Amino acid sequence: MFNKSGKTLTIFIVLIIILLVCSTSIGFYLYHLEQRLHKAVAADLDRSHADAIRLQSQIKDLQGGLALAQDKSKEADQKINSLLDERDLNEGVRVALKKENAQLKEQMKALQDADDKIKSELDDSGGKLSQYQDLLKASQERAKELESHLAELAQSNKSLKSKLDDLQASMQPYDKRTPQQQIAGEVIPPGQSGHDKVELDKIVVNPQNSTKGHVLSVDNDAEFVIFNLGLNQGVKPDDVLSIYRGDEYLGDVKATRVQDEMSAADIIPPLSSKEVRKNDTVVLKP
């Protein structure tokens, strides 16, 4: 019986030793496994950190590219707006030229019809040719008379200008006039008393009561402007119009080419094309 107890105890002790060895082995295995997992997690953390740094750099590059793209988008918007303005202006000019071309064709047709009619009348009656020649001769003589009259008017205008210059040169400065001459709103020529005074009418320019438009385009090389007033608004060739910016008077322009809704005008010195801007107000005085 003692032998059986000894064997049982020996077997129990052996089992305990085996369990301890197995536990120790499992502990070492788990320890090494934990070390490997720790190293793997550390390596993953390092890679994640490097990826985060790389992503931050990429984000910065993307932000810089986005800012550059926004700047380019703004420039593109400005160019598009400028092109739209030019397109509107070109479209207006194209429509106006198309209308003018149609009018010219109609005028050419009318002239052709008149020419055909004149030829037919000349063929029917040779006497009318003599009448036309007489009319042409009379017209030429009338033209010569008008040229002579124009020369006389030019000479008279030159004489009046000379007299005006002499009068201005002979007038005394305001601060040297006598108290009787210093009368507000009055001009007293030299050698006259206050009783012989000449009153000047007040010159009033009120652009509020005038036909107004605005400048569409300015040509700095040819010194002319295009504005949106034409025959339908009462503008005629050789009309003189005024340019304003707000309430500030800039100068005058002279209409040279007039269409239904648009006109071109030469800039009258001392006004210069450098002083005129797009959208300045154009006033046709009543």
In CATH terms, 208-284 corresponds, of 3.30.110.30, 2.40.10.340, 3.30.1360.200, 3.10.580.10, to: 2.40.10.340
**Rounded CA separation 220/215 (Å):** 13
Element (H, E) at 195: none
Instruction: State the Cα torsion 130-136-142-144 to the nearest 10°.
Output: -120
Contact (Cβ atoms closer than 8 angstroms) between residue 270 and residue 252? no
Residue 260: partners with Cβ closer than 8 Å, 6 or more residues away: 96, 99, 230, 231, 232
- In tens digits, the chain (286 residues) has pLDDT values of 556 677 888 888 988 999 888 889 898 888 888 888 888 888 888 888 888 898 888 888 888 888 888 888 888 888 888 888 888 888 888 888 888 888 888 888 888 888 787 777 766 666 656 665 666 676 677 667 767 666 666 665 565 556 555 544 544 443 444 443 433 333 344 444 444 443 333 333 455 557 899 999 999 888 999 999 999 999 999 999 999 999 999 999 999 999 999 999 999 999 999 999 999 999 987 7
Q: Which residue has the tokens 């009348």?
A: 121
